[in-house]
């Protein structure tokens, strides 16, 4: 990882046209660089980023586990102020505070119009920031399809109150929504990292009866209770499948949420489902994922397996903001650490090594 690169004389002449940004340079290589401030084209807006964060997905990119082009600015969780508005964008003004989801659908393609916003343009196509276009870990950010993606932030809410809605809250809450969780359902949430904690909060919001968290890290166990888990099982100390069977009087859970992306958690989620139950999968898997036949009842158990990629777009963000504004959910406690953009490489190290009880880091450009 390199430190801030020194500006050349040429750069200094155009200093006002450049910004600092965290650039991916190759496997295990990121650094702050001076790059041009983007200008908005048709349907686009440039926002000045006032708060962002680092996602587990950014770590996958840094470790070479998810491919993106070297030279790309990372990050997909932006809160900021409208800086410049391109032609064709109406109903917004310079200076307005906005939240943009991690997923920025166009709202016009066949996939979007089928309701699969996250799959805009094709598989995983809704995820553009820090994947196929420059991302949010910078002083300024170009927002594509701005008309469909800029959600205005009410004056009485701070950046810290809304920044986690862009990705982990939208993703986490979606697990219970996609599972069509019913009032009083019993839910197990496998792993209580940032996404799993939001999945726990989402299950509570949707009216689950018993919520069982599975997690070995003591700090995360405590957070799981704060987010709504009544029982937290440590998979390193107990047989999770057996314990959940006992807790549900042999019946199994109505909804099992997988929030890690491993074969073991996927299998356990399947093993503790009641017949006809739903496995709601949020994890990002790598390598091979196989479905074991016995817990799958050889294909005859009426199980449902659903996956959800972070729902985005301004209407999704507006709804999530509503939940915060009306006091239904408060995720600020998950922002355990604060850094300036200048310290972002350090923040990546802390977050990547899961040091100091970190859940999410707030980055202020």
Stretch that binds Zn ion, among 40-48, 82-90, 107-115, 130-138 (CB under 5 A): 107-115
Element housing 222 (H / E): helix 218-227
Short-list 302, 301, 305, 261, CA closest to 285: 261
DSSP string, 226-253: HHT-SEEE-TTTS-HHHHHHHHTTTS-E
Stretch that binds Zn ion, among 2-10, 115-123, 206-214, 295-303 (CB under 5 A): 115-123
Query: According to CB under 5 A, which one of 112, 169, 188, 198 is a site residue for Zn ion?
Result: 112
Question: How many CB atoms are located within 10 Å of the residue 178 CB?
Answer: 19
Output 150 or 241, the one with its CB closest to Zn ion. 150
* Sign of the torsion formed by the C-alpha atoms of 160, 164, 166 and 170: negative
Minimum CB separation from Zn ion for residue 110, in Å? 8
Stretch that binds Zn ion, among 120-128, 155-163, 291-299, 316-324 (CB under 5 A): 120-128
Structure tokens at 179: 């599972």
Structure tokens at 272: 């503790």
Alpha-carbon distance 292 to 275, whole Å?
15
Output 101 or 277, the one with its CB closest to Zn ion. 101
Site string for Zn ion, 140-179 (x = CB under 5 A): ---------------------------x------------
22 binds Zn ion (CB under 5 A): no
Alpha-carbon distance 133 to 131, whole Å?
6
Stretch that binds Zn ion, among 23-31, 62-70, 101-109, 283-291 (CB under 5 A): 101-109
Query: According to CB under 5 A, which one of 57, 178, 200, 281 is a site residue for Zn ion?
Result: 57
Output 58 or 159, the one with its CB closest to Zn ion. 58
Structure tokens at 190: 């496998």
Which burial class, exposed, middle or buried, applies to 205 when counting CB atoms under 10 A from its CB (0-12, 13-18, 19+)? middle
Output 80 or 313, the one with its CB closest to Zn ion. 313
State whether residue 90 is helix, strand or coil.
Answer: coil
Output 52 or 57, the one with its CB closest to Zn ion. 57
Query: According to CB under 5 A, which one of 106, 142, 146, 282 is a site residue for Zn ion?
Result: 106
Structure tokens at 344: 């972002």
**CA 248, 252, 253 angle in degrees (round to 5)?**
90
Stretch that binds Zn ion, among 5-13, 19-27, 119-127, 356-364 (CB under 5 A): 119-127
109 binds Zn ion (CB under 5 A): yes
Stretch that binds Zn ion, among 109-117, 231-239, 240-248, 298-306 (CB under 5 A): 109-117
The conformation of residue 263, written as its DSSP 8-state character, comes to H
Output 32 or 102, the one with its CB closest to Zn ion. 102
Element housing 219 (H / E): helix 218-227
120 binds Zn ion (CB under 5 A): yes
Minimum CB separation from Zn ion for residue 170, in Å? 10
Residues that bind Zn ion in the complex, under the rule CB under 5 A: 55, 57, 105-106, 109, 112, 120, 167
């Amino acid at each position: 990882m390199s430190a801030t690169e020194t500006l050349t004389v040429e750069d200094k002449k155009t200093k006002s046209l450049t910004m600092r940004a965290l650039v991916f340079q190759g496997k295990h290589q990121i650094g702050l660089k001076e790059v041009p401030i983007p200008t908005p084209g048709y349907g686009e807006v440039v926002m000045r980023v006032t708060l962002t964060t680092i996602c587990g997905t950014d770590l996958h990119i840094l470790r070479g586990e998810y491919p993106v082009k070297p030279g790309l600015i990372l990050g997909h969780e932006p809160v900021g102020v409208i800086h410049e508005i391109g032609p064709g964008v109406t109903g917004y003004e310079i200076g307005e505070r906005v939240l943009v989801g991690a997923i920025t659908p166009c709202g016009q393609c066949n996939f979007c119009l089928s309701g699969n916003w996250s799959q805009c343009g094709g598989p995983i196509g809704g995820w553009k920031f820090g994947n196929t276009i420059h991302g949010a870990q910078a002083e300024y950010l170009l927002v594509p399809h701005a008309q469909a993606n800029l959600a205005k932030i009410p004056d009485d809410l701070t950046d810290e109150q809304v920044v986690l809605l862009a990705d982990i809250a939208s993703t986490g809450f979606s697990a219970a929504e996609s599972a069509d969780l019913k009032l009083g359902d019993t839910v197990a949430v496998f792993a209580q990292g940032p996404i799993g904690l939001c999945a726990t909060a989402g299950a509570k919001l949707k009216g689950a009866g018993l919520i069982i968290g599975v997690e070995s890290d003591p700090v995360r166990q405590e957070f799981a209770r704060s987010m709504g888990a009544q029982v937290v099982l440590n998979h390193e100390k107990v047989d999770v499948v057996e314990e959940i069977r006992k807790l549900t009087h042999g019946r199994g859970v109505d909804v099992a949420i997988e929030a890690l992306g491993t074969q073991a958690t996927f299998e356990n989620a399947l093993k503790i489902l009641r017949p006809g139950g739903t496995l709601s999968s949020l994890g990002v898997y790598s390598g091979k994922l196989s479905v074991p036949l016995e817990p799958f009842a050889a294909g005859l158990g009426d199980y449902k397996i659903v996956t959800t990629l972070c729902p985005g777009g301004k209407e999704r963000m507006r709804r999530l903001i509503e939940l915060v504004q009306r006091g239904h959910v408060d995720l600020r406690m998950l922002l355990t650490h604060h850094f300036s953009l200048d310290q972002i490489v350090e923040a990546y190290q802390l977050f990547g090594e899961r040091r100091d009880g970190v859940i999410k880091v707030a980055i202020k450009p």
